[in-house]
Structure 1
Amino acid sequence: MTAHRGINLCTHLMPQMKEFIAANEEWLTVFHFPVYAPDLNPQEGIWSLVKRTIGNLAAANLDHLATAVRRSLKETQYCPHLFDGCLAGTGPDHGRLTPTKPVQ
């Protein structure tokens, strides 16, 4: 099975893409994901951790903000249990997904 995952993309609505999918349906399965699905994106958890540490920062300029983000990411790097928490449950729940054709 080959799967294509496009989040926040409307390319699957274009006529060319519909034609491509129809022409390759013997090997291609397309899953339509929700527009916003943070539970499928582990990086959303990482950015949530960063935003938690810099949420009340009154940055003097862009360099100050960039330094704070880098520092937060660096601190997070030394806490592998935080990454484990961000990865937990990010695998797609195939029971909630609706393929365009049955998965073979």
Structure 2
Amino acid sequence: MRYAQGGGLTDAERATRERIRLQAVERFEGAEKNREIAAALRLSERSVERWRRAWRERGEAGILSKGSPGRPRLSPVQIARLERELERGPLVHGWADQRWTLARVKTLIGRLFHVSYTVEGTWRLLKRHGWSWQQPTRRAIERDDAAVELWKKEVWPRVRAVRRRVTAGSSSRMRPASR
């Protein structure tokens, strides 16, 4: 079965689906026909055919759920180790500065655990475990607050274009007012 928009089954829905497959197995053992099973369990005949084939080839184990198809998850022990490594900092792991980016964390996870995450998956993993996006607290050494204030008060008003109203017959484009 295909699921639109990247959807799938939750764990509860997967368990319900597995119970239905086990009911189908009981009916396979009772020699019921696929059409009868499909009608009784409100399934497509195609699903019943696939399940019967898997049951014949591998027994009951062939129709049991394989679990979530999602990305591999890190164990609690691996999460704890990842957090220790993140606290040690990027310099220890070979990066030139002290910024953890999602790409760097993704690379670190791959190096440590041989598990591949997407950048988005890395963000979800970190967020799920209490990490948050951080902004540097320091300002640039070269920053001159007095010069910034002066620029905002004197230069910006001159740079900012004074807008005039659009009237009938005039262009709809905004232009600076003439001086």
Query: Shorter-normalised TM-score: what interval?
Result: under 0.3
Greater share of residues in helix = 2
TM-score, structure 1 normalization: 0.27
Higher relative contact order (CA 8 A, sep 6+): 1
TM-score, structure 2 normalization: 0.19
Greater share of residues in strand = 1
